Amino acid sequence: MSKVVLQAENLSKVYKSADKELVVLDHISFCVEQGQAISIIGPSGSGKTTLLGLCAGLDTASSGTISLMGFKLDAMGEDDRAYLRNQYVGFVFQNFQLLSTLTALENVMVPLELRGEKNVSRKAEELLARVGLADRIQHYPTQLSGGEQQRVAMARAFITDPRILFADEPTGNLDEENAEHVTELLFNLNKEQGTTLVLVTHNLELAQRTQRILKMRGGRLTDDSGQQLSVIRSNVTK
Amino acid sequence: MIDYIIKLRRKSRSIFTDRWVWRMAWRDARHNFSRLFLFVASLITGIAAVVALDSLNHSLQQDIDNQARELLGADLVVDGDYPYDAAQQKAFDTLDIEQASQVSAASMVLFLHNQQSRLIRMVAMEGEFPFYGKIETLPDDAYELMKQGGYAMLDETLASQYSVSSGDSLKLGEKVFKVAGVVTKIAGGGGLMSTFTPSVYISMQDLKATNLIQFGSRVDYRYFYKVGSETRVAEIVDALAADFRSEGYSFETVERRKEGLGRGFRSIYQFFSLLAFVALILGCIGVASSVHIYAREKRDEVAVLRCIGSSGWQAFNIYFIQIFVLGLIGSVVGAFVGLGIQQVIPLFIHNLIPFEMSFTVSWKSLLMGISVGSVVAILFSMLPLVSVRFVPPLSVLRSDYTAQRVFSKTRLLAIVLIAAFPIAFATWQTRSLVTGSIFFLGLVTALCILTLVAIILLWLVRRYFPHNAPFIWRHALASLFRPNNQTRALMVSIGLGAFVISTLTIVEKSMLSQVEFTGRENQSNTILFDIQPSQREGVIDLIKDHDLPVHQLVPIVTCRIAELNGRPSHELQQDTTDNVSNWAVRREYRVTYRDSLHHSEKLIEGDIHHTSDGRDSIWVTISEGMVDNLDVKIGDSIVFDVQGVLVKAFIGGIREVDWPKDPPNFIFVFPTGVLEYAPQIYVVSTRVDDQEAASRFQRALVMDFPNVSLLDLRLILTTVNDLFDKLGLIVRFLALFSIITGLIVLAGSVINSKFLRIKENILLRTIGARTSQITNITLIEYAWLGLFAAATGMVLSLGGGWLLMKFFFEITFAFDWVELLVITAGVVILTMIIGWWNSRDVISTPPLQILRKET
């Protein structure tokens, strides 16, 4: 049986304001196996991004549990979760989220440097060449186009050979041509490195390229194209 | 099924061993130095003020220590109102030490070459004074010439004021002297003293010929001794001081002069320290404010770093390293700027102090400045930087996401240390925990009141909001209540600057108003004193001949206190447990007699008693201010020694006296029928409005009554004005630090609220607002802000100024609305300019460009 890298169980997220509660996620359960590519789709406000944030340990759930690489995230502190992300997780964001004061090369090197690894520039240069930016490594983000910035972000995401990659609308800010280029890169790298891919998108075309689609509405998981929810639950309780 | 069993082996690395944070700090800083300009500027101004004033203080202390002996001119000086009697002279003669003496008295001088005259201090000198240092004159031989007799020297200020040069003639009393030269430096002279009463020096052998020393004249006798060793000085003081002091003499030694000067300058230093303290605290606010902006700008980048695995401390350390290094650089620059400024300050105050100032560099102050700067940089950036640790990584996905506030021990520690820092710094600077705590409490009170006034003003605007005003005005006013706006913080910081400037103006105005009464109609502005009974009618005739009014003709009797409530004065002086001030018992009193109140007086307790015949008890009235010094109340008895005759009197009433109003005014007023036959002199007050008439009258007075002195209050007004011009310059120069730092804080706060303004302006421009409309909204908003802040500062300065006048300076509170309004207008304009300057890119950039930047 394949290894489960991500497992959500009865996951809820509630935001409390003065006198009312806003339920953003309502008892979500699912699991993702290693190497699988899944997409989460749904209308705005359905809870996709919140779910992604919780799965990646960027926030904690109001109730329920999430296990990432076997670690129960809700039992971990903020810094431990950050360390876990550095070891096993990669990110690609809609707004690229590059560090504006660092060059493309430095942006890519940062995750490995954080691990304390030395001589990481060669690997970063190789990855930048892989995404077609060999001649842009000393450029700052403001000197790069949107597509180029997203490719730097992908190089940064893949430099740690992550077990799982979370991507939030990776093509949302790109034109068609760049979007296509980035999508190709994303799936190729995913395939080459055996990385699990969790993708949040509005783009149905993009979603259909993944093996499994989770549909969300009003904070609930309404459809799972790849697996029956009941099966997942029974696996979890075993 | 969970297949991964992995242990997390996260290692925490300290700031010293984590190379990554140093590397990131450098990479990030390459592009951010300009963003930390406000931080460095705040630090530089704050530290420069502290170092300049601390270094100046060290320099002054050093100068006092080095020059105290030269300032005194002798090892021991004995000072009294009477010449020694035979026994007293013998007591010193037997000591076999070198002696010199001086006799000084107020007198009129008439310059014969231009027929001008004024009140001066006549100093008759005898012996080889000074024993230490030397009298510097122009020409060099002037002093030797004067000692020969027939020659006079005068202070440099007097000579230049009346265009007197060597060889001219002047008349002192009944004798004409040739001018030997001017005195540029003399022990015990110079400084403020010579500004108010310049001196004319003559030889003792010429004193008798002037005929200036007559009955009732206020004469000061000084005896100078060259002893040699400090031990012997102490022995002489131990042996003789008690007896001499009981006779009204005071002893001055080099050590006491050092202490006295030190005390005097400690007050000045404390005032300077207060300014430096305010500048530093504003600098601290500037540091905190600019780092707050910086940390806020870095929020998104921190979220990314947290996302890819940086710990909270690592993110914190990146920016902490930047702040620390820049803080150190800023402190070093600030400290050197401070040393530079210290070299400039003596140029402003060299006329106000009696000794020469050296241009020394205090390395101790320099080190102190660097240390304080580093501490300030770390401490005041800690609080905003701690927030970096808690930036939620989720904000990379949702930029408006705010995490719940987390309890942080570091934050708590920072708050405690920040609260302790001002007390510790003020205590260290003033060398006193009490003064330091008072500084701190004063600051906290000022900040609390400023905040309170700011809240009240904002509440009033909200309560009475002008709903019918034009759109631009309403929008600008409503901007003050924008969520997360810095209105209150801005009002407090700008208000503090306005408060300092307004308070200084009030102090200046109140002091000037003490002498400005001369401008009021029907008030005396010329006082004639030392008039002998035989000269009384002649002087009055002279006044009338010059068509001048006689406002007051007041008899004056000199006396001392022999007993107070049955206790002899010497016993009172020895008693250290009572509440009676020794100087109040020891001093000579000039009293008058009358049965009514003068219009400058108000009876606040008791009655005015009339003495009908010699058997009635004598009831005197006392001025309010002296009641505490003598610790007396209605009904208490005082025995006065009226030139050898003991007169027992009782306190019958207490008067409130408006001292500057129509002088002379008196501490004790006797009833009529008691002192009429006592030896007395007269004082006459009049009013002269015309300078030419004044000169004519003074000339005639000096010719006809050479011993009568004339005090021209208009001249004092001019002198005080001059003095304030000089003092005001240095005070404003130093207050400039506070203002500059305040403006930096303002710029920081404006930038801080810029993010919110950008969004609002984009919306306004998108829906059709013109650039001119947005500019007007911005200008009006900052005008309101400046107006409220300045008004807050002004209200506080009125309160603070009143307290200062009432309890510290003990003079009548006065202020000038026009000056305060000019300050308010200045603050408003500055706020508008800075606000507009910082917002101009937001105002003029097309909305799409900003929208792109925002996304």
Which pLDDT tens digit goes with each residue over B163-177?
888 999 999 888 999
Q: Is B774 exposed, middle or buried (CB count within 10 Å of its CB: 0-12, 13-18, 19+)?
A: buried
When comparing pLDDT for A176 and A232, which is higher? A176
State the first-to-last Cα distance of chain B, in angstroms, to the nearest integer.
42
| B647, B652, B653, B654 alpha-carbon torsion, rounded to 10° | 50
- Span of A210-219, B38-47, B158-167, B346-355 with lowest mean pLDDT: B346-355
Q: At B4, is the pLDDT very low, low, confident or very high (cuts 50, 70, 90)?
A: very low
Report the distance separating Cα B421 and Cα B415, nearest Å: 10
B774: pLDDT confidence band, cut at 50, 70 and 90?
A: confident
Residues B66, B262 contacting (CB under 8 angstroms): no
pLDDT over threshold 70, residue A232: no
pLDDT band at B430 (very low <50, low <70, confident <90, very high): confident
List of chain A residues whose C-beta atoms are within 8 Å of the C-beta of residue B310? 82, 86, 114
Residue B855 — pLDDT band, cuts 50, 70, 90? very low
Task: For chain A, say whether B397 makes contact (Cβ under 8 Å).
Answer: yes
Whether B6 and A97 lie within 8 Å, measured CB to CB: no
Rounded to the nearest 10°, the torsion over CA B152, B188, B101, B252 is 170
**B398 chain-A contacts, CB cut-off 8 A:** 49, 53
Identify which has the larger pLDDT, B47 or B443.
Answer: B47
Q: What's residue B651's pLDDT?
A: 93
Phi, psi of A89, rounded to the nearest 5 degrees:
-120, 145
Q: How is chain B split into domains, by residue range?
A: 20-67+270-431, 70-260, 445-520+713-855, 552-686
In contact, A51 and A44? CB cutoff 8 Å: no
pLDDT at A109 over 90: yes
Name the residue among B5, B20, B301 with its Cβ closest to that of A99: B301
Residue B729 contacts A where some CB pair is shorter than 8 Å? no
Residue B752 to residue B741: CA distance in whole angstroms? 16
Q: Per-residue pLDDT for B138 more than 60?
A: yes
Asked whether residue A99 carries a pLDDT value surpassing 70, the answer given is yes
For residue B90, is pLDDT > 50? Answer: yes
Closest by Cα among B131, B190, B142, B207 to B168: B142
- B3 interfaces chain A, CB cutoff of 8 Å: yes
Q: How confident is the model at residue B435 (pLDDT cuts 50, 70, 90)?
A: confident
Contacting residues of B for A97, CB less than 8 Å apart: 300, 303-304, 307, 396
Assess whether pLDDT exceeds 50 at residue B2: no
Q: Decide if A82 and B306 are in contact by the 8 Å CB cutoff.
A: yes
Dihedral over Cα of A54, A55, A58, A60: its sign: positive
Dump strand ranges (E) for A122-230: 164-168, 196-200, 212-217, 220-224
Distance (Å, rounded) from C-alpha B500 to C-alpha B507?
A: 11
* Residue B569 vs residue A225, higher pLDDT: B569
* B518 has pLDDT over 60: no
Does the structure show a pLDDT above 70 at B713? yes
pLDDT, position B143 = 92
Range of lowest pLDDT (B423-427, B654-658, B716-720):
B716-720
Quote the Cα angle for B162-B163-B164, to 5°. 95
The pLDDT score that the predictor gives to residue A7 is 93
Q: Is the ipTM of this complex over 0.85?
A: no
Cα-based distances in Å from B819 to A141, A142, B61, B315, B816: 54, 51, 36, 50, 5
Domain assignments of chain A as residue spans, ordered by start: 4-237
Nearest CB to A53: which of B10, B27, B397?
B397
- Between B640 and B830, the more confident residue is B640
Q: What percent of chain B shows pLDDT beyond 70?
A: 83
Q: Would you tell me the crossing angle of helices B254-297 and B312-349 to the nearest 10 degrees? A: 140
- Residue A93 is nearest to which of B1, B30, B396, comparing CB atoms? B396
Say how many CB pairs under 8 Å bridge A and B: 109
Q: What is the mean pLDDT of residues B615-629?
A: 86
The rounded distance, in Å, linking the Cα atoms of B823 and B817 is: 10
Report the number of secondary-structure helices (H) and strands (E) in chain A. 8, 10
- How many other CB atoms sit within 10 Å of the CB of residue B219? 18
pLDDT in tens, B297-320: 888 889 999 998 888 889 999 999
C-beta neighbour count of B603 within 10 angstroms: 14
- For residues A207-234, average pLDDT: 73
What's residue B745's pLDDT?
66
Q: Determine phi and psi for B181, rounding to 5 degrees.
A: 160, -170
Q: For residue B669, what pLDDT is reported?
A: 93
- Taking the C-alpha atoms of residue B110 and residue B118, their distance in angstroms, rounded to an integer, is 7
Q: Which residues of A fall below an 8 Å CB-CB distance to B?
A: 1, 3-5, 7, 49, 52-53, 56, 58-59, 67, 69-71, 76, 78-80, 82-87, 91, 93, 95, 97-102, 106, 110-111, 113-116, 156, 168, 235, 238
Check pLDDT > 60 for residue A234: no
pLDDT of residue B348: 67
H-helix or E-strand spanning residue A188 = helix A176-193
Question: Percent of chain B beyond pLDDT 90?
Answer: 16
* Closest CB to A91 among B8, B307, B310: B307
Q: Is the pLDDT of residue B493 over 90?
A: no
Q: What gap in Å lies between CA B41 and CA B47, rounded to an integer?
A: 10
User: Residue B409: its pLDDT value, please?
Assistant: 84
Position B179 pLDDT exceeds 90: yes
**For the structural domain made of A4-237, what CATH number should be given?**
3.40.50.300
- Interval B523-548: pLDDT, tens: 677 888 888 888 889 999 999 998 88
How far is B15 from chain A, CA to nearest CA, in Å?
A: 13
Of B30, B310, B396, the CB nearest to A114: B310
For residue B311, the SS3 value is: coil
Kindly state the helix (H) or strand (E) to which residue A27 belongs, with its residue range.
strand A21-33
Q: β-pairing, A212-217 with A37-41?
A: parallel
DSSP H/E element including B333: helix B312-349
Residue A229 is predicted with a pLDDT of 39
Q: What confidence score (pLDDT) does residue B815 get?
A: 85
Q: Give all strands (DSSP E) within B645-758, no chain letters.
A: 645-657, 668-670, 681-686, 709-712
Arithmetic mean of pLDDT over chain B = 81
Q: How far apart are CA B419 and CA B411, in angstroms?
A: 12
Sign of the dihedral through C-alpha B238, B242, B247, B252: positive
Residue B36's nearest CA partner among B453, B391, B395, B328 is: B328
Task: Say how far apart CA B39 and CA B827 lie, in whole Å.
Answer: 22
Q: What is chain B's Cα-based Rg? A: 34
- What pTM did the predictor assign? 0.67
